Amino acid sequence: MNFLANLGRHSSAWIWLLLSAFSLEVAALYFQYGMELRPCIMCIYQRTAVFGILFAALLPLLNNNIISRLLAYVLWGVSAVWGLVIALEHVEIQGAKNSFFATCEIVPNFPSWAPLHEWLPNIFAATGDCGDIDWSLLGLSMPQWMAIIFAIYSVVLAVVILCKLINKKAR
């Protein structure tokens, strides 16, 4: 329990978080450019959530103190839960019997102060249809895998925070 409670103090834990998110981003770009799978708006939002987790891991790696760790935990949690919600919504769209009514936006709805799809269109421009299932592994579509991945990120964060709280209460 102590190990998990103090995990955030060690840069190796943040490096693993960073590497996992970075690997997912590289995989997304491989799917997009190597396999020529066009990302839809929901894919782009999930990609943005993974970038949030990546940036969360960077904060304590740059300066590991209580404030950077707190900000990292918050950014990690918001990104993981938001990514999970988007992935589950994407799964629902793909599973809709009448895909005519189950559609998604074409242009990303990023804030006006951060139009990522305009700044980095090669990464954040949506060109696909949310209802298309162009790839699967072990019978699960990409949004289903992303829901599992975001759930894992959320559970790991919850376990770490729970261990911190239990450890603090035991003192």
**Average pLDDT in the 7-33 region?**
89
What is the pLDDT at residue 148? 97
Is it the case that residue 101 has pLDDT exceeding 90? no
Beta bridge partners of 140: 137
- pLDDT category at 8 given cuts 50, 70, 90 is low
Q: Active-site positions? A: 40, 43, 47, 104, 130
Q: Where are the domains of the chain?
A: 2-170
pLDDT above 90 (res 152): yes
Looking only at the bridges linking them, the beta strands covering 136-137 and 140-141 are: antiparallel
Please report the pLDDT score of residue 84 as a whole number: 97
Assess whether pLDDT exceeds 70 at residue 3: no
In the chain, DSSP assigns E strands to 136-137, 140-141
The conformation of residue 30, written as its DSSP 8-state character, comes to: I
- Residue 137, pLDDT above cutoff 70: yes
Domain 2-170: CATH superfamily is DsbB-like (1.20.1550.10)
Strand partners, 136: 141
**Quick count: other Cβ atoms within 10 Å of Cβ 166?**
12
